Amino acid sequence: MYNCNKILCHLIVFFGKIKIGDSMDIRKIAFGILTLSFIMIISGSVSSFVIGLKRDREQTYKRVSVVNDEFEVFSTNTSVFEIYRDELYTATLSNLFYDTMYQEDSIVKDKLSNYEQLVDELVKNARALDKLCTDVYYPNSEVNSKCNNYRSIYEQIINYFVTDIHLYNENVKKFNDYQRQLGSFVRIREYSTKKDYVDYNGDGSFDGKEE
């Protein structure tokens, strides 16, 4: 009685049924086994490659979907930013007068703070798109276009915001100088932000920056 595992026992039974006539038969059998083994190895490798390729393609399609979703959020927040900026200019920044600036200062500062919060949301959106788009080429021209365009849009948004804050702070300086000339101790603080002009798409210019 053989003491063997399942696979070994099958091989013993298989070879026990083979009738070997001479050394030529042995070489033929060995060659056949090697050929069969080689075919099985190649078949397994091809199968693994196809499965991996399919998995990569599925992951790419999912990533394309995520890019589309993130860009949609980015576009929506961009529209909100544009609307708020127009309203801020119309109702506030274009109506700064020395005789009312001090009284309205807290209201204006709140509006500028809300303005910056909109920008902060777009900062988050841009970072999410950075992770999806940096050094990546997709098999979809529309997605590649979105990955290229969001950088320019984001650059303009940041530079618009920084320009607006600089404009406001210049008016504050003029107001404080005016009060100083009058001998008044009334002063208004400038709006403080850490944001500065950016060249986010790396083209050597600062789109949206206004002097």
pLDDT of 139 reads: 86
Q: What residues of the chain score a pLDDT lower than 70? A: 1-60, 211
pLDDT of 137 reads: 87
pLDDT of 86 reads: 97
Owner of token pair 């932000």: 193
Task: Please state which CATH number belongs to domain 65-181.
Answer: 1.20.58
Note if the pTM is more than 0.95.
Answer: no
CA–CA dist 78, 80 (Å, integer): 5
pLDDT of 135 reads: 85
pLDDT of 52 reads: 46
DSSP-assigned letters across all residues of 99-121: HHHTTTHHHHHHHHHHHHHHHHH
CA–CA dist 145, 184 (Å, integer): 56
CA–CA dist 118, 8 (Å, integer): 71
70 closest CA partner among 80, 82, 59, 78: 78
Any long-range contacts for 88-94 (C-beta under 8 Å, 24+ apart)? 88/112, 88/115, 88/164, 89/164, 93/164, 93/167, 93/168
pLDDT of 62 reads: 84
**Residues 122 and 78: beta-carbon distance below 8 Å:** yes
**Residues 168 and 191: beta-carbon distance below 8 Å:** yes
Dihedral sign computed on CA atoms, order 172, 176, 182, 184: positive
pLDDT of 42 reads: 61
